[in-house]
Structure 1
């Protein structure tokens, strides 16, 4: 894996929690809207932005997969998914416990094992 490929994968890892944060913000915004659900959905600017973000990140993922094997790129996406609860805690003050820390430490350990194996290959 080249440095460019690693940076692309890391960028995608950061894009995942951003998208989830956008969807949570859209859900909170939607709760303040009134009227029929279809009208609320089409008038929910944060939701439209979240869908646009996901469209862009899907294209970004597609580009990454033209350069990096899925088995390796996906390890980065797991790290990004693991960041979602941390961002939820920071932005929305959602509770986190020691189990999250332990689980994320295991995920990071697995990621390091994969990257170490890749470095030797």
Structure 2
């Protein structure tokens, strides 16, 4: 795994919580509007932005996978997904439990154990 591959994977892991925040904002906006479902969905600008973000994220993931094996890149996707609750606790003031903190720490340890041998070859 080259340094640029690591940077790409780290950037990708940051795109996942951003996308989830965009979807949560869309959901909050959706709940405060009225009218037929189709109209609320089609006129929800936050939802349109969230979908566009994930389309770009999927293309970015494709680019990453053209450069390296899935087994090397996927731990970064897991890290990005696992960081969603951290971001939601900051942005939306959602509560996190002590169990989450322990589990997140273990996940980071696991990520380090999986990625470190690839980085320091």
* TM-score of the aligned structures, taking structure 1 as reference length: 0.97
Q: CA RMSD in A?
A: 0.9
Q: Distance in 2 between matches of 1:91 and 1:67?
A: 33
Task: Give the C-alpha shift of residue 118 in structure 1.
Answer: 1.5
Partner of 1:70 in structure 2?
70
- Correspondences of 1:104-115 after superposition (within 5 Å): 104-115=104-115
Partner of 2:98 in structure 1?
98
Contact 2:12 2:80 in 1 (8 A): yes
Judged with a 3 Å threshold, the aligned counterparts in structure 2 of structure 1 residues 7 and 119 are, in CA distance, closer, same or farther, namely closer
Q: Distance in 2 between matches of 1:51 and 1:82?
A: 20
Q: Report the count of equivalent residues.
A: 121
- 109-118 or 49-58: which moved more? 109-118
Runs of 5+ consecutive residues of structure 1 not aligned to the other structure: none
Partner of 2:5 in structure 1?
5
Partner of 1:22 in structure 2?
22
* TM-score of the aligned structures, taking structure 2 as reference length: 0.97
Partner of 2:58 in structure 1?
58
- Residues 53-110 of structure 1: per-residue CA shift (max 9 Å, x gap): 0000000000000001101100011111111000110000111011111111111011
Return structure 1 stretches of 4+ with deviation > 3 angstroms.
none
